[in-house]
Amino acid sequence: MIVVICLIIISLVIVNYNQILKIIYPLHYKEIIFRYAEKYDLDPYLIASIIRVESKFDKEATSQRGAIGLMQIMPATGKWIAKEIDIDDFTTEKLYKPELNIKFGSWYLAHLKRIFDDDLTLVIAAYNGGQGNVNRWIELKKWTGKHKDSEQIPFPETRDYVQKTVKTYRRYQKIYQSQ
């Protein structure tokens, strides 16, 4: 009897494995994510992975350093992006709005993607550690810029962020692209 119950449980887990993964790796704000992914030529699962790692989809998230919202945008970066994309009525408080936050974060990812020639690891590292830092690490040969060498990244937070985000991105692709 115990064997039968165990087999039933195992069967249910196998059948519902993808559903279980979707609980662990949700895709909240899907419409907004996909809209800006298309607009800025990004993989929507990259945007979702950044959001999951940055805020766990908490639109009210604020970091200890002052980064705001789903994609954890610093107020100064938000002001800069607003100027770049001609938004006149920007206020820092608006970064808590999912629509604006995802738009700004997606624009910024596309900006980094152009700068770093579509190199995912460099884009993710720069999103967290800053474009200037990434360029400096590579120039000073502190990091090769390659994912396989991400242990060389001088900032522990950025090193962990790159590894976690790439892992999360691969999971999102596997879970949602197989539908």
The catalytic residues are: 54
Report how far residue 34's alpha carbon sits from residue 107's, in angstroms, rounded to the nearest whole number.
13
Q: Phi, psi at residue 73, to the nearest 5°?
A: -95, 130
- Let me know: does 121 contact 150? Beta carbons within 8 Å: yes
**Which secondary-structure segment (H or E) carries 98?**
helix 98-115
Q: What is the DSSP letter of 147?
A: G
> Which residue type sits at 135?
N
